[in-house]
Amino acid sequence: MAAPRAGRQPQNDGYRSLPLSGHVGFDSLPDQLVNKSIKQGFCFNILCIGETGTGKSTLIDSLFNTSFDDPVSTHFQPNVRLRAQTYELQESNVRLKLTIVNTVGFGDQINKEDSYQPIVDYIDAQFEAYLQEELKVKRSLFSYHDTRIHACLYFISPTGHSLKTLDLLTMKSLDSKVNIIPIISKADSISKTELQKFKNKLMSELVSNDVQIYQFPTDDETVSQVNTVMNGHLPFAVVGSTEEVKIGNKMVKARQYPWGIVQVENENHCDFVKLREMLICTNMEDLREQTHARHYERYRRCRLEEMGFRDIGPENKPVSLQEAYEAKRQEFYLELQRKEEEMRQHFVQRVKEKETVLKEAEQEIQSKFDHLMLMHQEEKLKLEKKKKALEDDMAMFNKKKANAELLQTQAFVSTPVVSLKRDKDRKKLLRGELDKIGCKITSSAEYDVMHISVSEHIDVSSLSTKK
């Protein structure tokens, strides 16, 4: 490289412009970038928002001239859910990893208050996943599958009147998170005069409600003119179809009706070609750049500020990431200590309260135990008294029984055989007297005992005489 020429004044930005005395070769940098990009491939993620039956899947098939296997959805979904499907496409030598995210059940519920919330959560989740990958110590962003939404095609029903409240709320919630491109779906169901009035009304409502939609960039001289014209056609009125109809000598994608044929790629019939040119051919890279530089950076800044990171300190001095991390770490450490102390004090207080409750319960149980022991002692004394009385009765009975058996034995030994008849008469007489007074004798042994006992006190002969 030649030495700088004397007298050349530096430019306003502080850099000097130097001429080259010969070929160096860094003019091939664009070619190197192209080769690297082609080798790496591209990714593009589209979010389709619209009510069931507005033609989202058909339009995507028409845009990429293929057939994506998207199952048909019904109108009876309990809530809104998002279904993402990724496809590998190749055109010439350029590979594209395309992700189509469809909103299943959007606008089908009776209560549509929170229909847009799952969409907001999904977009934030993709931003958060990319942020976590960036914050890793060992990152792999080169091979990372970027799932951030680059373009949001918002399908508006061709009512011819105005935007629904759900449409306004959804677009207002998403305009700071994604590039919104409004689309009037199934535009062949409305006349051209009504369609133009509908477009003007929609744009007026978007402006009055401060909804920021994606504007095609006009700062690049190569595309500024066409993008300026296309911004005036928003929202695009499109018709999608994968069926081919023969017109003249060629087959074209169209929709055939009894009154005529609507050609999808005829700009006099709809804005399908304009949408495809602006979305894919002209501004796809700008959509990717806007997603990263505008929407993702806003999300990243808010998340880092929530974590406590700042670029400027209290005295408006620059703060490095390490200083912010250490300050936040110290703040979290002090907060952790404070919470630990609060938890410890709370735990001690709870333990004291529990000990008091346990002591009261222990005293109550002890008093009940003492009362039961006292009752047990009283019952034990009563049982012992009854046992002693029963033992005395049994001893007395055994004594009387022994005496009776002894007397009976003596009577049998001393009495002659001839007196047996007299004893039988006495027993018979005694039995009769006992029956009179109602005394029942069940066994002969009891009768013998009673006979002997009575004989000691009663003169049986007297009983015989009285009789």
Per-residue tens of pLDDT for the chain, all 467 residues:
344 444 444 445 678 888 888 888 888 888 888 888 888 889 999 999 998 888 888 899 889 888 887 777 776 777 888 999 999 999 888 999 999 999 988 888 777 778 889 999 999 999 999 999 988 888 888 788 889 999 999 999 888 788 888 999 999 999 999 999 999 988 888 888 888 899 999 999 999 999 999 999 988 888 889 989 898 888 999 988 888 888 888 888 888 888 888 888 888 888 899 999 999 998 999 999 999 999 999 999 998 888 777 777 667 777 676 777 777 788 888 999 999 999 999 999 999 999 999 999 999 999 999 999 999 999 999 999 999 999 999 999 999 989 988 888 887 776 555 556 666 676 677 677 666 666 655 555 555 555 555 554 444 444 444 43
Do residues 148 and 45 lie in contact, with contact meaning Cβ atoms separated by under 8 Å? yes
| Nearest partner of 190 among 124, 120, 238, 251, judged by Cα | 238
- Distance, CA of 222 to CA of 214 (rounded, Å): 19
- Residue 140 CA: distances (Å) to CA of 40, 133, 134, 145, 251: 14, 8, 8, 10, 46
Q: What is the DSSP letter of 291?
A: I
Do residues 51 and 77 lie in contact, with contact meaning Cβ atoms separated by under 8 Å? no
Kindly report whether the peptide bond that precedes residue 235 is cis, defined as omega within 30 degrees of 0: yes
* pTM over 0.85, yes/no: no
pLDDT computed for residue 414 by the predictor: 65
pLDDT computed for residue 461 by the predictor: 44
- Distance, CA of 150 to CA of 180 (rounded, Å): 9
Calculate helix-pair angle for 117-134, 165-174, nearest 10 degrees: 10
